[in-house]
Amino acid sequence: MATFIALIPAIPLLGFLVLALFGPKLTRKTIGYIGAGSVGIVALLTLIAGIGLLKSLPQVKSYSVIIWEWINAGNLKADISFSLDALSLVFCFVITFVGFLIHLFSVEFMAKDEGFSRFFAYMNLFVGSMLILVLADNILLLYLGWEGVGLCSYLLIGFWYKVPVNGYAARKAFIITRIGDTAMIIGIFVLFLSFGTVNINDLMQQASEKWVAGSSIAVLTAALLLGGALGKSAQLPLQTWLPDAMAGPSPVSALIHAATMVTAGVYLIARTHVLFSLAPIVQTAIAIIGALTLLIAGFSALAQHDLKRILAYSTISQIGYMFLALGVGAWSAAVFHFMIHAFFKALLFLAAGVVILVLNEEHDIFKMGGLRKKMPVVYLTFLIGAASLSALPLITAGFYSKDAILWYSISSETGSTLLWIAGIIGAFLTALYSFRMIFITFFGEVKTQPAFLPGKLMTIPLIILAVLSVIGGFVELPESIGNIHLFSNLIDNTLPAIVVKEARHSEILFQSLSAIIVLTGIYLAYLAYLKKPALSESFNHSKLNKFFERGWGFDKLYDVLFVKPVIWLSEIDKDDIFDGLNIGISRLALLANRFLSITQNGNLRWYLMSFTIGIALILTYLICK
């Protein structure tokens, strides 16, 4: 059982190798089979491993296997070793299962693209790296997967590399996440220096024994690792890359920028939760960052008119919710929301991809309309996804996961009313912008005709994901409704149980409050965008709208603060100073050559004279000694 966990990351990597080496020579069908098939096999393997693990819980908490020794240098010992416990199992399940559906979708979506094999090679590499990330037993291997997904993100965002804008977007993503990665590797250095090991379990154990809660080194390390998480998960202040990353194909946005890579930060914080418990300041910071991000992104989503950008800001906002949950110590709620969000966000991105494709690459929602009657299946699945996103009460999975977070944001030990208020406003905004999106895109008159209808390979994953977006929540029902705790029981094997404040507020009250707010938001969207569009017209052209649309001006801020000075500095160093030093040395040698070659003028008597002078000098020197 334990050994074949190693197959889980290995098979997609093998698929990448085959596709990278032989891709251009294979037929589309073979590439599709290899690309999607490898992820499918891994989904199956995860299922088997998962069932095995579930059976042996709670006695056996995890399966571990060491494949081979990677680094053995002095104090540093790192192996290629994987371990599957409850947390990694959930992540693996989402990555492989949702990933498989997305790969199936891509076989038809990218069918006419000339980079077909390249696409699947990169996607397989991504899945392999992400699986390494979540299955890694030591933090260096985790960082390997971390870097791998960053690379694949760059490659896939800039997939259509012939268009320069895509290249810029890819570079922006890579550079901004790089800032986070640097913080993270410094954090890893600090951890290794303090404890002499890189195995995660050992690190957590030693940290809890040796470090005092609130000590500066714990705060430093936690803050550094948080920096890494912020970069990858596109939270404040490193969130500017995600909207631009929508330049990549829609399956990429679905897989990487909705379901998996951007949740790597959540995984990291959950995995190293001991450190964050030891640094309460940092944990509070996580909650505050999450709350702020979800609000800022929520407002920004309201003002976008590119369909995918709305979804991008929505992703940032939803991950803000996950960070909020992590910040108040609601570990299982965060992971639960991650899973449900993966379902409905992937669904939304895939459906948006279908819409954009059939409307001939039209991204502007104000140029769409009336697609309800033209593409019923897509409309229905999109509606279910948006409903789940808005946390429509009782019937969508999103309701249960988001509601759990809202509940814990106020009732957890470190929760506060302010955080709950931020969450509630965010929920209102979410409902508002999701249904704005639905009403403008699918209702009203048809502004652009769809060119064709999507085929089976694109529709079936949509349907499956839609079903999951509804029933996925039923594994974790709150006490007041069904009191099923399948999910949190699973997670509590690895992560600590959520500690709730003594004075319990009434759970039903808060649930009804959130339900009312969501319904209000949907109604407002209906009013402002469908029934009486005039209401929203003035807002559409206001300055506030423009401010929201530009993502609250963060891009401009970073441009002024960082980009312009760097460009100015590199202008100064245009004739590379250090290169100049090297050239200077060689010029000096050439100059010396020119001077000294005057003495080689071929004149015999000159040479004789130099002999004589030399003899005179040497003799004089010797005699005078």
Could you tell me how many residues of this chain bind another protein (CB under 8 A)?
Answer: 18
Nearer to another protein, 577 or 598 (CB): 598
Nearer to another protein, 451 or 604 (CB): 604
Considering only residues 451, 534, 581, 623, which one is a binding residue for another protein as defined by CB under 8 A? 623
Nearer to another protein, 520 or 599 (CB): 599
Using DSSP's 3-state secondary structure scheme, residue 66 falls into strand
User: Closest approach of Cβ 602 to another protein, in Å?
Assistant: 3
Binding mask 542-581 for another protein (x = CB under 8 A): ----------------------------------------
Q: How many CB atoms lie within 10 A of CB 464?
A: 18
Are 278 and 226 spatial neighbours (Cβ–Cβ below 8 Å)? no
Nearer to another protein, 578 or 621 (CB): 621
The candidate with the shortest Cα–Cα distance to 326, out of 431, 419, 200, is 419
User: Closest approach of Cβ 17 to another protein, in Å?
Assistant: 56
Q: Where in 207-236 is the site for another protein (CB under 8 A)?
A: none
Q: Where in 381-410 is the site for another protein (CB under 8 A)?
A: none
Range 46-49 contact pairs with CB under 8 angstroms and sequence separation of 24 or more? 46/8, 46/89, 46/92, 46/93, 46/96, 46/97, 47/93, 49/1, 49/4, 49/5, 49/8, 49/84, 49/89, 49/92
The angle at the Cα of 92, spanning 107 to 13, to the nearest 5 degrees, equals: 55
Q: Which stretch binds another protein (CB under 8 A): 233-241, 284-292, 491-499, 614-622?
A: 614-622
Nearer to another protein, 164 or 602 (CB): 602
Are 20 and 121 spatial neighbours (Cβ–Cβ below 8 Å)? yes
Q: Is the backbone of residue 306 left (phi > 0), alpha (psi -120 to 50) or beta?
A: beta
User: Closest approach of Cβ 586 to another protein, in Å?
Assistant: 15
Binding mask 574-613 for another protein (x = CB under 8 A): -------------------xx--x--xxxxxx--xx--xx
User: Closest approach of Cβ 588 to another protein, in Å?
Assistant: 15
User: Closest approach of Cβ 614 to another protein, in Å?
Assistant: 11
Is 538 an interacting residue with respect to another protein (CB under 8 A)?
no
- Pull the structure tokens for residue 432: 């508002």
User: Closest approach of Cβ 624 to another protein, in Å?
Assistant: 9
Strands (E), 311-422: none
Are 432 and 438 spatial neighbours (Cβ–Cβ below 8 Å)? no
Q: How many CB atoms lie within 10 A of CB 57?
A: 16
User: Closest approach of Cβ 587 to another protein, in Å?
Assistant: 14
Output helix, strand, coil percentages for the chain, rounded to the nearest 5: 75, 5, 20
Nearer to another protein, 68 or 621 (CB): 621
Using DSSP's 3-state secondary structure scheme, residue 162 falls into coil
User: Closest approach of Cβ 609 to another protein, in Å?
Assistant: 6
Considering only residues 1, 21, 508, 616, which one is a binding residue for another protein as defined by CB under 8 A? 616
- Binding site residues, another protein, CB under 8 A: 593-594, 597, 600-605, 608-609, 612-613, 615-616, 619-620, 623
